[in-house]
Chain A
């Protein structure tokens, strides 16, 4: 616990592991009690919870945490997050994506086979999109996608045995619901942390600030790909660059950045 000091975390920042958040870093309190580790950076090996202090409570452990009898320790470097009433997990930002079921991702078509379309979702393996996984999809109206088409998809299931994850262009009830190919616009790649931030609710400050003056459409994939479209190419470029620069900024900093950017552009 004591070693969770500033120099170690700064080293991690230099590796590009953590998004630099100077305010939370400098304020990292050196303390032993578990509740103060919430929203702090933890590294593998940190004991984040001591179950002997918390009897008669059911705790849900999310990704990045591992139970060792009474001690819950972190398995990944990231921020310890807590959601009422009892969910704990470690959030980290990476350039690679690990597929999880029910994630909405942006994929690029690699190849079309008879039964499946191979799609690149920035994960350890290519995803397989069944040709029938579209609304009203039958053997008669199989969609044909060219290579390098951008699709908005849902991850249906992943197996631990190293098999390719299965994807779908419908939601759980079989409707199309905005899944499918994305036309025009511009796509850029970022980290998974930025994608999660852009999708957070209430609306992420940078999107809110941009939305006040500009009209645009975005599709955010949890795998670190973002698609932006608007009538004017200028708007697309402004929105894309503003989002790319907003990963390490706090809410107010994002708003200020966007306001400065829009003021400069309109001159």
Chain B
């Protein structure tokens, strides 16, 4: 018991009072403006569909994989996707290994709802054999470091991973057109998923009974704030999801203000994500050229015959 007490992170009275009083003068503890985001870096892994996002101190990784499964009975022509979140104990002393806690489930639900309800991921293109075989896409989100505002970082990681994921090409053939042949990547180029638009999440923290709001709260600010709201918008101005999990009530005008702030930033963040993905795709295709070059070389060498 004492060990657990020792490893908890505690918010001192000094910190909570200071954060609140500084916000009265529109100052944030790390020197940012009220609506400024921390530095965002998007990196990609070796395999397609893996991304790593850093938003300030917050560090999240996303992995996208796909499997051929039987479709749901009521949607025989559509593939499916599902989101799994792993809150690693190395991210925060309060995360426990094993069964995901409430905040993990909530994070997964916000991202899942934004992608599903707005039909950002095209599920009909994931159908291979109607009623028999469809692709089921699985997004795994791993939280590596909790520096505050996990939802936004995890959302960007999921989008980046979905944009760079490539699924194997498959053709239907054989007698009765019932056989499915999955082509390995060397035979046929794997295909990207069809993503119609990018729903980006923006989280707001409320202070002082809802009269002060900040964007992208850090860990300390999250511990002090009295309420929060996440708005998921896309670059076209469509609101894909809003999540306000109870806590302090806020005025209607505040909610509209948040929606406007989020919509005004959606285009910029979408551009950052797309640019990162494009840079990665360019690099990957240039690497592929090198690979074919070495393959061609080895064919020429052939067997050495000693007479």
Contacts and interface: CB of A to CB of B under 8 A. Distances in A.
Q: Which of B6, B14, B21 has the most CB of A within 10 A?
A: B14
B191 interface: no
A182 B14 contact: yes
A74 B145 CA distance: 32
B27 A233 contact: yes
B25 A233 contact: yes
Contact of B27 (A149, A185, A234): A234
Contacts of A227: 14
B74 to A, nearest CB: 50
Contacts of B18: 184-186, 233, 236
A241 B14 CA distance: 17
A148 B30 contact: no
A71 B40 CA distance: 49
Q: Which of A111, A124, A149, A186 has the most CB of B within 10 A?
A: A186
A183 B8 CA distance: 22
Interface in A104-157: 108, 110-111, 118, 120, 123-126, 146-150
Nearest to A240: B29
B2 interface: yes
A110 B12 CA distance: 10
B10 A120 contact: yes
Interface in A154-177: none
A126 B6 contact: yes
Nearest to B3: A125
Contact of B22 (A124, A182, A233): A233
Interface string B25-59: 10111110000000000000000000000000000
B10 A237 contact: no
B289 interface: no
A187 interface: yes
B2 A237 contact: no
Q: Which of A120, A123, A182 has the most CB of B within 10 A?
A: A120
Interface of A is mostly: mixed
A99 to B, nearest CB: 12
A126 B2 contact: yes
B5 interface: yes
Interface residues of A, number: 28
Contact of A185 (B6, B14, B28, B29): B14
Contacts of A183: 14
Nearest to B10: A108
B5 A126 contact: yes
A28 to B, nearest CB: 30
B248 interface: no
A187 B25 CA distance: 19
A185 B13 CA distance: 10
Contacts of B5: 110-111, 118, 120, 126
Nearest to B2: A126
Contact of A148 (B6, B12, B22): B12
Interface string B79-108: 000000000000000000000000000000
B278 interface: no
B290 interface: no
Q: Which of B12, B17, B22 has the most CB of A within 10 A?
A: B12
A152 to B, nearest CB: 12
A187 B27 contact: no
B306 interface: no
Contact of B29 (A118, A120, A150, A186): A186
B13 A149 contact: yes
Given A148-B12, A150-B14, A233-B22, A241 B6 contact: no
A184 B27 contact: no
6 contacts: A118-B5, A148-B13, A150-B13, A182-B14, A184-B14, A184-B17
Given A125-B6, A126-B6, A237-B22, 20 more contacts: A110-B10, A120-B5, A126-B5, A149-B13, A150-B13, A150-B14, A183-B14, A184-B14, A184-B17, A185-B14, A186-B18, A233-B22, A234-B25, A234-B27, A236-B18, A237-B28, A237-B30, A237-B31, A240-B29, A241-B31
Interface of A: 108, 110-111, 118, 120, 123-126, 146-150, 182-187, 227, 233-234, 236-238, 240-241
Query: Closest 10 A-B residue pairs measured CB to CB?
Result: A233-B22, A186-B18, A150-B12, A108-B10, A126-B6, A148-B12, A150-B14, A241-B31, A187-B14, A148-B13
